[in-house]
Amino acid sequence: MSFCWATFVHVEVYNLAHRDIVVIGASLGGVETLPQLVASLPADFPAAVLIVQHMAADAPSFLAERLNAAGPLPAGPANTSEPLEPGRIYVAVPDRHLMIEGDMIRLTHGPRESHARPSIDVLFRSAAYYAGPRVIGIVLTGMLDDGTAGLWAIKDRGGIAIVQSPDQAPYPAMPRNALRHVKADYILQIEDIPNVLRSLTREHIEIKERNLNNRLEVETRIALEENALQKRVRALGAPSFYTCPECHGSMVVIEEGSIKRFRCHTGHAYSGTALLAQTLPNIEATLWSALAQAEERQILLNELAQRAASQSEDANGYAEQARRVRVLAEKIRTLTADPTLQKPQSQDQNALDG
């Protein structure tokens, strides 16, 4: 079965404009890398800068303070409904997606993408949808591949794609995966990015009518907390064999260029790499659960055998069952220590280079 989206013309009403929105995504290594980037941006930088740095939902974030002290541009935690202004840095906050909606900031509690909220892809996708060619997307250091699908959307809408040189990135998997699937306009060392941004944001660009696939609108609306099922999420792609690791809902396969990713009917989304990374923990958790149930059954059978013996009843049946369950539990315990379940340090990179 195949699905075909109709396209419509999304008209940006501009004659001449300039690139006035810069979106940046980072994960591991980003806390050290981001201050280096923003430190060299000038005080009169003519674009708004929005940053998603992966963070734990319950952890305090001091990144905005660090960026505010790093250079001349004011930086602060993003607030929903505040207007986008050039020369300011908006930093994502824990457990909220940072998005653009029109010319405003939106913070949402939409479904996680590849286990992340805030998600780089969510920010990039919303910027691509609402600002198209005015957007510059930057993927920095990190593990796995958040940012790749969002950078693809930015390029598809006529924006500029910049990727940190993997050779310089403390964790090169995220930049390498972006380069694997997206034709970047620039592959740069951190110290070279500010000069390129200064040049790109001062160029005049002509905004033309562009065809926009409905898929981008649907996924943006889902992240804005609209009902995924009502937004026809199941029509985003063909049905998938896999179920969502988070809610166990059925998923569809979304294909964009060489990218293949997955989204469930409640809205959670996964890249192939993120889905792969979840399988070993799920298998291990299932084995430990099976071991716990087997040992509980063994304990109960032993208790029943002891009670039967104390009442001069035949306890052999219970005792034999307990022995068999003990043997089974030992086999399961052996499986929990199987090296196959131990993720090698290079697994993320192997998955990307595979």
Q: Is 308 helix (H, G, I), strand (E, B) or coil?
A: helix
Catalytic residue among 20, 121, 146, 348: 146
54 assigned to active site:
yes
Cβ neighbour number for residue 2 with a 10 Å cutoff:
5
187 beta partners: 163
| DSSP output for 131-146 | HGGGEEEEE-S-STTT
Catalytic residue among 20, 54, 240, 268: 54
Task: State the amino acid at position 266 in one-letter form.
Answer: T
Judge contact between 40 and 240, C-beta under 8 A.
no
The bridge status of strand 104-108 relative to strand 97-101 is: antiparallel
Q: Is 5 helix (H, G, I), strand (E, B) or coil?
A: coil
Q: Is 333 helix (H, G, I), strand (E, B) or coil?
A: helix
CA distances from 95 to 55, 112, 230 (A): 8, 9, 24
Catalytic residue among 27, 119, 126, 271: 27
CB-side neighbour CA atoms (13 Å) of 158 = 18
Catalytic (active-site) positions: 27, 54, 146
